Amino acid sequence: MSDVAIAPRAQFFEDADRITHDTEHRRRIQTAMGKYYVSRYSRQALFRNWQEARQTAAETKWAALKELDKHLEAFERNATARGTQVHWTSTGEQARQVIVDIIRRHNARRIVKSKVMTSEEIHLNQLLEQLGYDVIESDLGEYIQQLKGEPPYHFVFPCMHLSREEISDLFENHLGTAQTHDPEELTMIARRVLRQKYIDADIGITGANFVVADTGMISITENEGNARLTAALPRVMITLVGIEKVLPKFSDLALFLPMLATAGTGQPLTGYNTMYAGPKQPGESDGPIEWHVIFLDNNRTALLADPQQRDALHCIRCGACLNVCPIFKNVGGLSYGTTYQGPIGSVITPHFRGLQDWKHLSGASSLCGACTETCPVKIDLHHHLLHNRRNAIDEKRGFLEGMLWRGFTFLINRPKLFSLSIKLGRLFQPLHALVKGTIFDPAAAWTKSRELPEVAHESFRDYWKRRQSK
Amino acid sequence: MTEREKIFTRIRDALKTQAPMPGHHGSSHKPHAISEARNAIAGARQWLPDPGADSAAWLEQFQKLSAELKTVVHLCNDEADVHSKLRELALAEGWRKVAAHRHPLISPAATAIALPALETDGGYDANEMAKCDVGITACDALVAQTGSIFLTTRSAGGRALSVLPPHHVVIAHRDQLVPDLPAAFELMTRLYGENQWPSMSTLITGPSRTGDIERILVLGAHGPRKLTVFLI
Amino acid sequence: MKISLFVPCYIDAIYPKVAISMVRILEKLGHTIEFPEELTCCGQPPFNSGYWDDARRSARPVLERLKDAEVVVIGSGSCGAMMKVFYPELFAGHPEEASAKALSAKTWEFTDFLVTKLGVTDLGATFPHKVTFHDGCHGLRELKTKKQPRELLAKVRGLELVEMKEAETCCGFGGTFATKYASVSTAMGEVKCASAAETNADFIVSADSSCLMHVQGLLDRQRRPIRTIHIAEVLASE
Ligand code: SF4
């Protein structure tokens, strides 16, 4: 993996510090999310009972994971019966190797991709580009990010942080097109460029939203039609998918598809929900002659092994938890430095890539719980952030912070001492003005942006004592 | 051990410990009994948006959602009506070439337009299809609840016909309209059964769209800019 | 009823008026107040930081001291949630598990106690001002106290409540988060202050002094005229 040049924690603090001060970023994301809230909540209100729908969805996923092995076997059986080739990979390295082997076997040069979050996870594009292949992202937002040389900002809205002016500049620089600030014209530029790519591509790579066990299908949700074209025109189709995406039954989609659309974008249903059941079958007029489904573990089984946080594998990647997250909205998606941003990313990244390296993301939360409340499959997101914090400390107790909490506990368990410390605080507070704003300010983290409250001239316990003695 | 075996071993080891039922923590929601969870989908219908009580209400709902989604719906008396409306459309939009598939509803319609036509059955050249102004297909079902069209490679002439040309025209009968998604999935299972599944089935909800640039809706991102349904 | 009043450290030291107002209101309703002076903190700071051993050490005296209490009332959704929702989890599998559950069952956040337990909404208060209400996240989502404070405010004479945009969005305090991730916390608080200011209210009312400490700190720095006040103080105004 093209792994991090600077420590993830330092990178997060540096980026977050920059973006939180960027008021233009703040305005842009607030405007975009404002639109999301309107459509999402009006659509959700049309459900006869959204809370019951969530509970049903969560239980369906819970039951699916409970027998994950059986469902995966059923999928494999049903899919291979129609000529699909199923591969199993434990690591990103293995998945990349399987893909490169398929490409080589077909002497392919041109590869078109629809949105594949798992490929970001395994850094597939970098490798394919290094090997000299022509790889193109076909989802508009992903295409724009590819031109920009940046990973997706948000796993559902990949370039929501860019203005039309910035996109126009990008197109001018990379495609030589004239400036336009009309979103429609910008979209049509991309449409023209990408259309021929589908027709010329040798291989199409897609992701998957659901793996349907009882029919051996892969279900893909999208709005643009790029995934459908990616799965229709190239001779060979590759689908890269995490092992956890299983739904037991075809009919389960009748619940999950509208919930995904509602939570994700506030639509009744996303533009195209397409279920693939194999490569081109006898008598069919088109479709790939070969279809490879590659299952990726990449530490998902480690998360599965944690019963307390197993429900994080319920995730249907709707992005709702990012959209309501005040942290996400203020630090922006790129600060996370992860494939999956926002609350779900902060929960699962420590499992996928190491707790000690990524625990700072679990710390970066006020534990407000907006994510948990919005999640269509009821993942206990903010409590898992809390659990990650605990697990990190249980695994490796911080020395200084550990001392601090020992001292804190010592103090609060001694009411007299506590009372004294309030009095001392009251006494010394006037002196604080001397150091405020300097590097000697012990409360600098607070006072950099906020005034300190004043210690009251009489604490409640003193008041109570005075009252009792009357 | 193969990689496959290793993965399955890890999964089985992990599953030796049970995870708590959803809704166990910090929620006032009482989890259902597990046996109910297994039948959850039969029950899911009751939570989804209300499609209305009878076929008249379903039609109204389908039309209302179609209008929101920018799908154009024409109610037609009979096939002849469809053909004449299609001819008007062809003229108004200046079609020069159409793409279609062999089907009792579609073939006569393609003939009625009297323009060069590409038929997808038995294979076609994608470059040629890309030059067509419209793709005309049948479908399996229309879904009132979501304003969607359910079609497959088999019912709609392949994977690309309904997505590559810039305009997708669907011709369907009114009795193909089902109230909700659970009904649509039941119907598909009835039609294609266990191992008769076409290699692709898709639920189409409105013309191709994107909001990737400043969350502003633009139609025709990659797929068709226009979606027209003729309902007989 | 004999009510044990749990007074969180910041109310004790910085906002004693909040607790004094609670005493006044509850006594006026005819209840007896007991203040367990030995208790200073519920242990939430080490708990949220991942130091659960230290949190248990902080919480044990609370369990012990309130063992025989009839009912415990707290003027904070945050500390209330700690004792009501998180103690049972903190002590799961420990010898104190049962007493943690018992305490949880008899612990109430102040507004929830008034409305749900006592069934009182009109406290005869007068507060002739335009106010906006900030939902503390723990109260809102862990304790589900969305309606209770609003029902109480609706009965206050002269008070006009204007809801702010995204009232349910976190203000960014989050305990130690406010200093560990100061710039994020500040940005969140600025968004909150801006939506509160947009309502042209005179006061931001909340059931959590900890949120208000952060918000007031920002307001003071930005020299915005709007002030913060705990709901108990509003309900005790005459
Ligand atoms: S965690 Fe829940 S809300 Fe977040 S993306 Fe996954 S399913 Fe959506």
Residues of C whose CB is below 8 A from A361: none
What is the arithmetic mean of pLDDT over A176-194? 92
User: Across A431-435, C40-44, C127-131, which has the greatest mean pLDDT?
Assistant: C127-131
Give the H or E element holding residue A220. strand A217-222
What is the arithmetic mean of pLDDT over B132-144? 96
How many CB atoms neighbour CB A441 within 10 A? 16
- Give me the sign of the Cα torsion angle B163, B168, B172, B178: positive
pLDDT given for residue B39 in this prediction = 52
Give the C-alpha separation, B201 to B152, whole Å: 4
What is the arithmetic mean of pLDDT over C112-140? 94
The closest-lying atom of ligand 1 relative to the alpha carbon of residue A322 is: 4
pLDDT given for residue B96 in this prediction = 94
A312 CA from centroid of ligand 1 (Å): 9
Counts for chain A of helices (H) and strands (E), in that order: 23, 10
Confidence of residue A1 (pLDDT cuts 50, 70, 90): very low
pLDDT given for residue A3 in this prediction = 46
DSSP assignment, residue B19?
P
Q: Which of A317, A200, A332 is nearest to A260 (CA)?
A: A317
- Statement: residue B44 has pLDDT above 90: no
Task: Find the closest chain C residue to B25 by CA distance.
Answer: C85
pLDDT given for residue A450 in this prediction = 83
Residues of C whose CB is below 8 A from B29: none
- Statement: residue A383 has pLDDT above 90: yes
Q: Which of B142, B154, B160 is nearest to B205 (CA)?
A: B142
Residues 186 through 205 of chain B touching chain A, CB cutoff 8 Å: 186, 188-189, 195, 197-205
What is the arithmetic mean of pLDDT over A229-255? 96
The model's pLDDT over A243-277, given as tens digits with 9 standing for 90+, comes to: 999 999 999 999 999 999 999 999 999 999 999 99
Asked if A191 and B222 come within 8 Å (Cβ–Cβ), the reply is: yes
Cα angle C2, C4, C6; round to 5: 160
The model's pLDDT over A414-456, given as tens digits with 9 standing for 90+, comes to: 888 878 887 877 777 777 776 776 766 777 788 888 888 888 8
Q: What is the residue extent of each domain of chain C?
A: 2-117, 130-235
DSSP A87-118: EEESSHHHHHHHHHHHHHHTT--EEEE---HH
- Statement: residue A48 has pLDDT above 90: yes
- Which has more confidence, B25 or A327? A327
Asked if B46 and A49 come within 8 Å (Cβ–Cβ), the reply is: yes
The model's pLDDT over A384-420, given as tens digits with 9 standing for 90+, comes to: 999 999 999 998 888 888 888 888 888 888 888 878 8
Give the C-alpha separation, B191 to B225, whole Å: 30
Single pTM value for the model: 0.93
Structure-token match 């749990």, residue found: C6
What is the arithmetic mean of pLDDT over B41-70? 90
Of the listed ranges B28-32, C43-47, C78-82, the least confidently predicted one is: B28-32
The model's pLDDT over A73-102, given as tens digits with 9 standing for 90+, comes to: 999 999 999 999 999 999 999 999 999 999
pLDDT given for residue B111 in this prediction = 92
Q: What is the b/e burial string over C202-218, where b = at least 16 CB atoms within 10 angstroms of the residue's CB?
A: bbbbbbbbbbbbbbbbb
Asked if B28 and C144 come within 8 Å (Cβ–Cβ), the reply is: yes
Task: Find the closest chain A residue to C65 by CA distance.
Answer: A413
| Mean pLDDT over each residue of chain B, to the nearest integer | 90
What is the arithmetic mean of pLDDT over B4-22? 94
Kindly state the tokens that stand for A404: 């601090």
pLDDT given for residue B167 in this prediction = 96
List B152's β-bridge partners, or say none. B201
A253 CA from centroid of ligand 1 (Å): 17
What is the arithmetic mean of pLDDT over A39-47? 95
List C206's β-bridge partners, or say none. C134, C230
pLDDT given for residue A421 in this prediction = 81
Confidence of residue C77 (pLDDT cuts 50, 70, 90): very high
- Statement: residue A2 has pLDDT above 50: no
Our measurement of the distance from residue C112's CA atom to the centroid of its chain's CA atoms, rounded to an integer in Å, reads: 11
| Secondary-structure class of domain A50-298 per CATH | alpha beta
- Statement: residue B11 has pLDDT above 90: yes
Confidence of residue A66 (pLDDT cuts 50, 70, 90): very high
Mutate to test the interface with A, among B101, B190, B213 (most CBs of A within 10 A): B213
Asked if B222 and A60 come within 8 Å (Cβ–Cβ), the reply is: no
pLDDT given for residue A97 in this prediction = 96
A317 CB near ligand 1 (under 6 Å)? yes
A316 CA from centroid of ligand 1 (Å): 6
A316 CB near ligand 1 (under 6 Å)? yes
- Statement: residue C191 has pLDDT above 50: yes
Q: Which of A144, A140, A136, A101 is nearest to A119 (CA)?
A: A136
pLDDT given for residue B157 in this prediction = 93
pLDDT given for residue A4 in this prediction = 46
- Statement: residue B38 has pLDDT above 70: no
Contact C130, C94 (CB under 8 A): no
High-pLDDT (> 90) share of chain A, %: 78
Give the C-alpha separation, A469 to B181, whole Å: 72
- Statement: residue B33 has pLDDT above 50: no
- CATH code assigned to C130-235: 3.40.50
What is the arithmetic mean of pLDDT over B165-187? 95
- Statement: residue B27 has pLDDT above 80: no
| Secondary-structure class of domain B7-231 per CATH | alpha beta
- Statement: residue A72 has pLDDT above 80: yes
A319 CB near ligand 1 (under 6 Å)? yes
Give the C-alpha separation, B70 to A268, whole Å: 13
- CATH code assigned to C2-117: 3.40.50
Q: Which of B39, B38, B14, B198 is nearest to A244 (CA)?
A: B14
Compare CB distances from A279 to B199, B208, B216 and report the shortest one's residue: B199
- Report ipTM for this prediction: 0.93
Task: Find the closest chain C residue to A13 by CA distance.
Answer: C181
Give the C-alpha separation, A34 to A323, whole Å: 9
User: Which residues belong to CATH 3.40.50.10420 in chain A?
Assistant: 50-298
- Give me the sign of the Cα torsion angle A371, A41, B61, B225: negative
Q: What is the residue extent of each domain of chain B?
A: 7-231
